[in-house]
Amino acid sequence: MAVKLGKNELPAGHTRDDFKGFGPVVTDDTVWGDACLFDGGCFKQGEVDSNKYYHIAVVQSTNNNKWFAYFEFGRTKPDGYPNKPAFQFTDCATKEEAQAVAEKQFHVKNTKRGKWEKIGSKNRFVAKDPKKDVYVVRPTATRMVGLPCCANIANGDAKGVAAAVAPKKTVKRAKKAAPKHDPQTRKLFHDLIGGAVTYANAVMTGGKGKATLPTQDSLDYGRELLDDAMARLKKVGDDLKAQVNDKELKLLSYDLYGRIPKHKPLGAPERTWILSQDNIAVWRLDIDALETALQGQEIDIEEDTTDPLQGIPADVRYVPPTDPLFQFLVGEWQGKTKGHTGWWPNATRYMSGTGKSRLRIHNLWEVQRHGDRATVRSNQEKVQGEMPKTWNNERPMFVGEKKRPDLNAAERRLFWNTNTSLLFHGTRSVNVPGIVRENLRFPKELTGVAITGAMFGPGSYFADDWSKSAGYCSHPRSIWGGGGNVKGRKSFMFGFDVVLGHPHVAPGPRGYAGPPKGHHCVFGKAGHSHVANNEWIIYHKGYCEMRYLAEIEW
């Protein structure tokens, strides 16, 4: 018969290190299955910050092989570790008895306290009583709570299959084989992926230590929640106060923080964290960075032994200063007063936050994502057939397509006829690997609401002036960059070929869900659309191709 020990009482003769933990791990609300471990999180209930967790594990003593059900509960500190956690063991005769005790407690804390309610696009598990905590399943790749033996038990995807500690993968190569990537590219991704891990620790713990990372399923679920929040914004409208007070947006926010416990100071004003037009974009960037960090933990990045891109479907090549492509795009550095002689650094009116600073490009890479070029060429042919005989002839400034050494004669004609140009896209350094992996992501729900940092709706934004894109990079003077810098590295900016076709010139900021009929993009025109710098926005995949990545400073 199961015997419950006292609160915070260890079994006689044991320390916290004297136990073995097991999978599988609970992955779905209300479903215990054949599990031996549950991680639950309660972000907020009853309008009061809780930041609570509840951990259940079936463990076996390494001293005498006895079985126990183990419960641990409390609040987490900013560093992700428990703050004075309470725990309790139940001494059981068999593993099956320990599982039964654990399952009963799981249903008390999860199943019986929650209900399924249609919120956004699907039924989600929420509290029956907003004054009581319901601990939703919080899938984690690693955990800082519970006994040490459970720290690295992986979530099992298959029900009933014991989850094992996920080993790091080391890809071996033949001793005399040459490295697949040049040294500069290897170093770049080593630094960027390592920087994403460091950033994940900061964003999850408030900079206080190593983070408990969510699983890939949690991150994908988080993106679904953001899509649902975007859809809800369309109904709620542009009023920020209405968004913060909207019940559905609140529930989506609670669910998101419950599944992905991103650091939030206790008592922070709701407007700073409720899923509103002000913070959805940052959440998307952070989920992308967390994904890079999660993938970065799976492989040991060692000199010449692993793929530094970690399976990213792209060919990346360092472009040396002697290359004609470098000479065209960057040119020679003539000092801080004159800057570079190439096209990229001189494509500016100096009308953004960079002032009169000269752009210095320290390193340049050519990037070709697998399959993207064929898709873009197909869409260029489509746009070419749709271009009206007379159109507004709005083209980007500093068009250099007729002189580009990376285009042949036929491509130059196609680019000109479809208004395709090489444009700039700035981003946080920690988000570079994710963009190279996935290209620019488009939310499933393109609302008619202007998102903060995206005045013309949730599309992909490009600039024809590098100083505009600089405001989104990891740099102390960036407007929207939001940190995310990588130690030992400068800022980063992409060059994309973007199919603009016939642009719609926006009369002013507005939450476009796509270009009006007969147009292929939205053009926020400086001096006309209530913006100081040109902004070019596309709303669908397949109309931009990543071409270059520059490491920059100004």
* 288-307 burial: b if 16+ Cβ within 10 Å, else e: bbbbbbbbbeebebeeeebb
The answer to whether residue 435 is domain-embedded is yes
Q: Decide: helix, strand or coil at residue 90.
A: strand
Tens of pLDDT, residues 323-372: 999 999 999 999 988 999 999 999 999 877 677 789 999 999 999 999 99
Residues 249 and 138 in one domain: no
- Measured CA to CA, the distance from residue 138 to residue 106 in angstroms comes to 13
Phi-psi region of 482 (alpha: psi -120 to 50; beta: other; left: phi over 0): left
Burial class (CB in 10 A: 0-12, 13-18, 19+), 136: buried
Q: Are 359 and 466 in contact (CB under 8 A)?
A: yes
- 549: number of CA atoms within 13 Å, CB side? 28
Residues 338 and 244 in one domain: no
**How, if at all, do strands 503-505 and 521-524 pair?**
parallel
The answer to whether residue 344 is domain-embedded is yes
How big is the CA angle at 138 (ends 136 and 141), to the nearest 5 degrees?
170
Residue showing tokens 């699983």 = 215
pLDDT of residue 303: 45
pLDDT of residue 299: 45
Q: Are 164 and 57 in contact (CB under 8 A)?
A: no
Residues 96 and 215 in one domain: no
Residues 6 or more apart whose CB falls under 8 angstroms from that of 552 comprise 359, 360, 361, 362, 470, 473, 490, 491, 492, 493
Sheet holding 420-427, edge to edge: 314-318, 360-369, 544-553, 491-499, 420-427
Choose the weakest-confidence range: 149-158, 169-178, 489-498, 520-529. 169-178
Q: Phi/psi at 59 (nearest 5 deg)?
A: -130, 160
Residues 284 and 324 in one domain: no
Q: Hey, what are 109's tokens?
A: 């804390």
Dump the DSSP string for 314-341: EEEEE--TTSHHHHHHT--B--TTT-B-
- Measured CA to CA, the distance from residue 392 to residue 505 in angstroms comes to 9
Residues 204 and 134 in one domain: no
Choose the weakest-confidence range: 47-56, 342-351, 508-517. 47-56
pLDDT of residue 482: 60
Q: What is the DSSP letter of 541?
A: T
pLDDT of residue 131: 75
SS3 content of the chain, % helix, strand, coil (to 5): 30, 25, 45
Residue 95 domain boundaries: 3-150
**Residue 538: CATH number of its domain:** 3.90.228.10
The answer to whether residue 167 is domain-embedded is no
Residues 228 and 334 in one domain: no
Residue showing tokens 């036929």 = 410
- Measured CA to CA, the distance from residue 235 to residue 259 in angstroms comes to 25
Residue 36 has pLDDT above 60, yes or no: yes
In angstroms, how far is CA 50 from the centroid of its own chain?
A: 25
**Residue 223: CATH number of its domain:** 1.20.142
Average pLDDT estimate for 114-123: 92
Q: Are 458 and 230 in contact (CB under 8 A)?
A: yes
Residues 277 and 345 in one domain: no
Structural domain count of the chain = 3
Q: Decide: helix, strand or coil at residue 441.
A: coil
When pLDDT is cut at 50, 70 and 90, the band that residue 114 belongs to is very high
Residues 133 and 218 in one domain: no
Tens of pLDDT, residues 472-487: 998 876 666 568 899 9
pLDDT of residue 480: 64
Choose the weakest-confidence range: 200-204, 326-330, 383-387, 503-507. 200-204
Residues 214 and 356 in one domain: no
Per the DSSP assignment, residues forming a β-bridge with 316 are 367
- End of a domain among 230, 264, 296? 296
Terminal Cα-to-Cα distance of the chain (whole angstroms): 71
Helices (H) and strands (E) in the chain, counts: 11, 18
Per the DSSP assignment, residues forming a β-bridge with 115 are 126
- Measured CA to CA, the distance from residue 270 to residue 360 in angstroms comes to 40
When pLDDT is cut at 50, 70 and 90, the band that residue 163 belongs to is very low
The answer to whether residue 159 is domain-embedded is no
When pLDDT is cut at 50, 70 and 90, the band that residue 139 belongs to is confident
Choose the weakest-confidence range: 92-106, 286-300, 355-369, 417-431. 286-300
- Measured CA to CA, the distance from residue 382 to residue 148 in angstroms comes to 58
Average pLDDT estimate for 16-29: 94
Query: Counting every residue, how long is the chain?
Result: 554
Closest CA to 447 of 224, 243, 223, 232: 232
The answer to whether residue 171 is domain-embedded is no
Q: Phi/psi at 377 (nearest 5 deg)?
A: -60, -40
- Measured CA to CA, the distance from residue 475 to residue 285 in angstroms comes to 16
Q: Which amino acid is at 212?
A: T
Residue 260 has pLDDT above 80, yes or no: yes
Residues 270 and 353 in one domain: no
Run of H or E residues at 536: strand 535-538
- End of a domain among 98, 125, 150? 150
Residues 120 and 213 in one domain: no
The answer to whether residue 99 is domain-embedded is yes
Run of H or E residues at 490: none
- Measured CA to CA, the distance from residue 295 to residue 315 in angstroms comes to 19
The answer to whether residue 175 is domain-embedded is no
Dump the DSSP string for 17-81: TSEEE---B--BTTB-TT-SEEEEEEEEETTEEEEEEEEEEEEEETTT--EEEEEEEEEE-TTSS
Q: What percent of the chain lies above the pLDDT cut of 70? A: 89
- Measured CA to CA, the distance from residue 160 to residue 496 in angstroms comes to 46
Average pLDDT estimate for 519-526: 97
Residues 292 and 318 in one domain: no
- Measured CA to CA, the distance from residue 251 to residue 247 in angstroms comes to 6
The answer to whether residue 457 is domain-embedded is yes
